Amino acid sequence: MSYNFDFPPFGSDQDEWSLKGRPRLAKQLFHAGQFIRGLGFQMRFGELSRAPLRLLRLQILPNSVECDWLARPADSWDMDIKPDVQQRHVLLQTLRDAINVRELLFESLPNVNTAGIHVYRESPDYEQELIIKGYVQRNDNSSRNLHSLVMRAQVLGLSFNLQEGILCKIST
């Protein structure tokens, strides 16, 4: 049986047909679900670490969002390489993840204009240490031409403390 329509079956606005007539809370939950699914799918593996990101907190406010996660640890296959190279991989992966999560937040949550980001890592005594924090904006495209991940993250509004290529704990 074939269905041919001269008009779209759900009206002219097919992209948002599933949200028509629903309250604002349902839309926020739908978009939050898109972000969480995207985070689970896109951030399941990193380029330099096979460990997944672990979302700690997602708080959606009227025009902003706050998102906290646990950074990926060093890859288990990197244990045999020099510690400085291993730490460089951790640094690069953590900065890439922060930039990519920022992008995913703004793609998934169309009503959000600013985002508070906090990235933690587990210390050897299993406490969480804050290593990156910042408030980023949707329309901040000034970093597109920067090749350095460190500079790109800083221009986007992320702050962190680097000492000899290692992300150090920062105060809250």
pLDDT digits (tens, 9 = 90+) for 91-138: 988 999 999 999 999 999 988 999 999 999 988 888 899 999 999 999
Phi, psi (rounded to 5 degrees) for 139: -90, 25
Residue-wise pLDDT for 64-101, tens only, equals: 999 999 998 877 776 778 888 788 888 988 999 999 99
- pLDDT over threshold 50, residue 42: yes
pTM of the model: 0.77
Kindly state the DSSP code that residue 170 receives in the 8-state scheme: -
Residue 52's identity, in one-letter code, is P
Render the burial of 50-59: b for 16+ CB within 10 Å, e for the rest.
Answer: ebebebeebe
Q: Which residues contact 126 (CB under 8 A, 6 or more apart)?
A: none
* Helix, strand or coil, per DSSP, at residue 87: helix
- The distance in angstroms from the start CA to the end CA of the chain is 62
Cα–Cα distance, 126 to 41 (Å, whole number): 26
Report domain extents, the chain: 19-168
